[in-house]
Every structure is written in structure tokens, then in C-alpha cells.
Amino acid sequence: MMKKMKIGNLTQKGIYTMKKSLILVIVMIMLVVAGCSNNNAGNSGKSDNVTNLTMWSMESRNKSTIEASIEEFNKANPDIQIKAEFFEDEALKTKMKVAIAGNQLPDLITYWSGETFDTLVANNMLGDITQQLNADAAFKDDVLNGGLETFAYNEKNYGIPVLFSGVSLWYNKQIFADNNLTPPATFDELLTVVDSLNENDIIPIAVSGKDRWPVLHWYSYLAERIGGTEPFELAKSGESDFTQDSFVQAGELLKELAIDHKGFVNGFLGLDYAAAETLFTTGRAAMYLQGEWAMDAFLDDEISKDIGFVAFPTVEGGKGSTNVYHGGFGVGMAVSAKANQDAAYKAIRFLTDSAQRKEINEGANISPMKTAGLEEANMHPLSFEYDTAISEKLEGFFSYYDQSLDAKRADQFLNVVGAIVSQADSNVAEELAKVKK
């Protein structure tokens, strides 16, 4: 009978068993690593020569349209596959904080411009797409003025805008006609309209003071119409502060409108967004200052035929133009610095193309492109009129104060504006001095 050969203290059977166990351990480790790679948000997982791209987006109301575009892209590009997740605003902000802390961004992200986007760039978390855009001149030149610049830093591009937001003064045409009123083109005309409406027991302006930022829209526009955009940029950078003359004058005019002329609905400080919106959409308030997103509430409603819009009024002697809108390119699509850059750019270039976003832009949205390819027949008349007006007249924009400033000063500003419109004896200059780093 053949004896088992010993090697040291091990038999051949023992060695075979060890090898088999070792192989199983290695295989298990490889499977775990592969699983982790596929679940890693920002590593462009690759398997079987396929680049898998993860995507996070806050465009939940446009989910079905974007998912259809992703399906089309995935079919046309079997070597690149996108898997998207959609989140409500606050949920995405929370998820992003965790991702930033762990440096684990998704490969593609649709996110807001402003402070957080700046932080991502400053920490080298986003991919530089300048070279790809420069090689794609026709697409680059089609973006509305300021669109790519919003997502550019040190002359390098890090994002492509997906929409433009413009805040306008919406008004009820029937109410104005019944009271022989003309939509105001100047602040003095606005005060005259407000006085006339009050005399006829009609709510002049619906505004949500509880949410604070709708009141800030009024202040921001007045500050821009008085001093132009430069004072804010200087104050934002710390070269000056918010006690400059244009800011103080804006506060005095806002106080005059809200308190002296009772321009805002009675009790507006306790009114939330939905309640303020309802006042306007049910024809109880004559005016409403909001962005294009407000159209969602009345495009399919009977009230839509009675709604018109004008640019925010000028202020006598002011530097601001009515073709400079409060808002801007608030949302853009970017790629993670860890992603496969060629594959990721190809994906966002496809998803931001006018042809892919046509259905979205034909709704209550404004395309960031000069040639959006909109078809009037597919659109609500008011939506088409608004989109066309913005595209044809846009000279520039200034961003939302509470999004442009750091969190501390943004909150201070919201509180200060609330104090200005709620207290008849408030000292505007002293209140504005409270906004500081």
C-alpha cells in the first residue's frame, strides 16, 4: 500500500485542502471588492468592458423624462451605462453632505450652483470639462449668456446648466382691467397701483413672509435696480458691507411699500408659500413676485388666461436694467473628478442637450439654450410667452442672495429683511449692519 508522501509535517492531502481553502478565500475577497466597487458612488465601476456611471439628481418632478433619456443613452452606448437616483431637495442636500465628507460623490450629479458647488470645486471633487467643451464649440456657444460662467472657476468649466430661473412680477389681467390699471414699469407706478387696489379692497400683493425668501426677492430686486449688481458682489467678497447706500435705499423703499402703503397682504409674516400662492391663483390678490416655477400652479388652471407678467419695475435714478433678472442658472450637471472623464462627459453632454430636455423646457421651465427647439403647439401660451421673453431680452442676471452668501450671512439677511418689513420704527442701516461674517 502506497504511503502518503509527507512534506515537512504536511501530507499531499493537507496541501490540497489548504490550496482549495486559499482559493475560496481569494475568490470571496474578489467578489467583495467587486461589490464594493460597484456600490462606490464615485469610482465609475467597470465590468465586462462596461463603464457604469451612478447619477444623483434633484429634478424629481422631471424624473420620467430624464429616465427616458437615460434609457435612450444606455441603448445607444452599450459600453457606458447610467443608473440614476432622484431625490427631493432636502434629501439630496443631506446625502451630499455625507458624500462630501467621505469624498464619495456619484459620477454624475445635478446640483445647485452657489456655495456648495464652489466647495466641491475648491476641494478638487469635480472634473474639469473645459477641454471637452472647447472641442464642442456649437454646443458651447448655444448656452445663454452667463450659463457656463456660473459653473466656471479660474477660467475652467465644471458644469453645464440645465435650466434658467427668472423672477418676474406676475399680475392678474382681469383685476387690472376692471380697475383701469396698467402693469407698473417703475417703483412709483407700483405704489400708485397698490394704493388704488387698497382703495378698492383688493389685496395688492401676495407674499409669504413665513418662508422669508419671497420677501428677500423684493429687497434684492430693489437693491439691484438702485445700484446695479456691483455693490452686492463687493459686499459678498468682503470688500465692502451691506450698509452701502444702495442697500439702505432698497430697505427704505421696501419699508415704504410694505408698511406705509400696505402693499403686502395683511398678515403676510405668518403666511406660508402655499397660502400666498393660493391667494394669487384664486384671483384674490392682484400681484405675485415669483420665478418661472410658479407657473406649475396655474398653467392647467382656468386662472391662467388672466395671468400676465412684467419685469420688476425700475427705480428712478437707478443703475439696474429691467432685462437683468433675479435668478440665473441655479442648477447644473457636473461630473465627479473620480469618474471616467470621457464617459462621464459624453453622458452629461447627451442629457443636457436641448433635444433631450425639450419636453421639460416646454413645461414650466426656461431653457438655458439659445436654440431650445421649443414648439409653440406643444406649450401652454403663457409658458411659451414667458420662455420667449426671457430668451429674447435677457441681458444678465444676479443670483439669489440667500444662495450666494455663506450660510451665516444668508440667514442674517433673511432675518434683517423680515425686521425691515415688520417694524415701522426699524432703522434700516442698523439692521443691515447686522449682516456680517
Q: What is the 3-state secondary structure (H, E, C) of 269-291?
A: HHCCHHHHHHHHHCCCEEEEEEC
Instruction: Give the percent of the chain with pLDDT over 70.
Output: 89
Assign 8 a pLDDT band (cuts: 50, 70, 90).
very low
pLDDT value for 116: 79
Give me the chain's average pLDDT, please: 88
- Rounded Cα–Cα distance for residues 107 and 52 (Å): 9
pLDDT value for 44: 58
Question: Per-residue pLDDT averaged across 253-271, rounded?
Answer: 97
Question: Does 23 or 407 have the greater pLDDT score?
Answer: 407
pLDDT value for 222: 98
pLDDT value for 1: 36
Say how many residues make up the chain. Answer: 437
Q: Which amino acid is present at 267?
A: G
- Rounded Cα–Cα distance for residues 311 and 419 (Å): 26
Question: Does 39 or 175 have the greater pLDDT score?
Answer: 175
Question: What is the separation, in whole angstroms, between the first and last Cα of the chain?
Answer: 90
pLDDT value for 315: 97
- Rounded Cα–Cα distance for residues 431 and 6 (Å): 90
pLDDT value for 17: 39
Question: Per-residue pLDDT averaged across 76-94, rounded?
Answer: 94
Question: Per-residue pLDDT averaged across 302-310, rounded?
Answer: 93
Q: Does an H or E element contain 346, and which?
A: helix 341-351
**Residue extent(s) of CATH 3.40.190.10 domains in the chain:** 46-164+327-397, 165-326+399-432
The CATH number of the structural domain formed by 46-164+327-397 is 3.40.190.10
Calculate the alpha carbon distances from 99 to 41, 129, 147, 345 in Å. Answer: 8, 21, 26, 21
User: Which range, of 69-83, 177-191, 351-365, averages the lowest pLDDT?
Assistant: 351-365
pLDDT value for 27: 39
Question: Does 102 or 19 have the greater pLDDT score?
Answer: 102
pLDDT value for 396: 86
pLDDT at 276 over 90: yes
Instruction: Give the percent of the chain with pLDDT over 90.
Output: 73
For 238, phi then psi, to 5°, come to: 95, 5
User: Which range, of 130-144, 274-288, 298-312, averages the lowest pLDDT?
Assistant: 298-312
The CATH number of the structural domain formed by 165-326+399-432 is 3.40.190.10
pTM: 0.78
pLDDT tens, residue by residue, 355-369: 999 999 998 888 999
pLDDT at 414 over 90: yes
Assign 370 a pLDDT band (cuts: 50, 70, 90).
confident
pLDDT tens, residue by residue, 21-56: 444 444 344 433 344 434 445 555 666 799 999 999
pLDDT value for 19: 40
pLDDT value for 45: 64
Assign 9 a pLDDT band (cuts: 50, 70, 90).
very low
